[in-house]
Amino acid sequence: MKQSMNQLGAYSKSFITDVPANLTTERALHFKKTIPKFAEESVYIYSFAEGRMIYADGWEEVLGYKDTEINMLGIVNMTAPDFAPFVHEVNDKALQFIQTVKEDLEKYSFLIEQKKVHKNGSEVPITARVGVFESYQGKMVSIIGRFQINHNIRFGKVMRYSAYGPEKAQFEEELNKTLFYNYAISGKEKEALSLVAKGMSFKEIAALFNVSPSAIEKRILPLYKRFNVKSLTHLVSFAYDNFILP
């Protein structure tokens, strides 16, 4: 059953606060020296154990907020309204899945293409990747997020996301099954669709990925109903019209 708007993100929001990082601590200064950051990119580390941001860098360049004032609740709430339901739902479902994992948690992350609202009110195209930064005894202790301005994103009706980790297939399956926003596509689905658009058959794609043709069908056929298309040609056309495919 779909959640109401005021319930969206309820799971992830229950873990976060509006407490910013103290960037004068020895730990924060260590992160400043050891965590790389690229141009037009901001980074944060949020500790669930401490209930606060423990590191922030680059936020004034990306979204207009000083590193000393940015906080986790603020980052969640500055999502552009048309992207908020999708982003909140992905955050919830991704964190819920990772909470079930007991090994190699630091290898799990998820990526979302979205718009964030700058402090000046403008909308900024962002590629956001969030992953587990630290775990202890099979439990997630902190997460790291990287928000990169992406001037090359062209937004259509379809939201795009990807999941990464040792159980990547299961991770994406869980997101696919439970996402609130119907107009969304995973990295795995997009990858298969791009090969279909190049004229490859399901059998040829299956051989390329060393999976069965039915596995490729399971990536492509659900998109018919999701995007309300009637044929493979219509699906590919829809993908180009909505900038899913370049």
Looking at residues 117-133, what average pLDDT do you find?
97
Q: Count CA atoms within 13 Å of residue 64 on its CB side.
A: 11
Q: How confident is the model at residue 182 (pLDDT cuts 50, 70, 90)?
A: low
What is the structure's pLDDT at 181? 57
**Looking at the predicted structure, is the pLDDT value of residue 179 above 70?**
no
**Looking at the predicted structure, is the pLDDT value of residue 2 above 90?**
no
Q: How confident is the model at residue 144 (pLDDT cuts 50, 70, 90)?
A: very high
What is the structure's pLDDT at 238? 93
Q: How confident is the model at residue 4 (pLDDT cuts 50, 70, 90)?
A: very low
Task: Identify the CATH class of 184-241.
Answer: mainly alpha
Same fold, 5-178 and 184-241: no
Query: Which candidate, 80, 36, 89, places its Cα nearest to that of 58?
Result: 36
For the chain, the structural domain boundaries read 5-178, 184-241
156 burial (CB, 10 Å; 0-12 / 13-18 / 19+) is middle
Looking at residues 177-187, what average pLDDT do you find?
75
Task: Give the C-alpha separation, 119 to 131, whole Å.
Answer: 25
Pick the CATH number of 5-178 from 3.40.50.300, 3.40.50.1110, 3.30.450.20, 3.30.70.260: 3.30.450.20
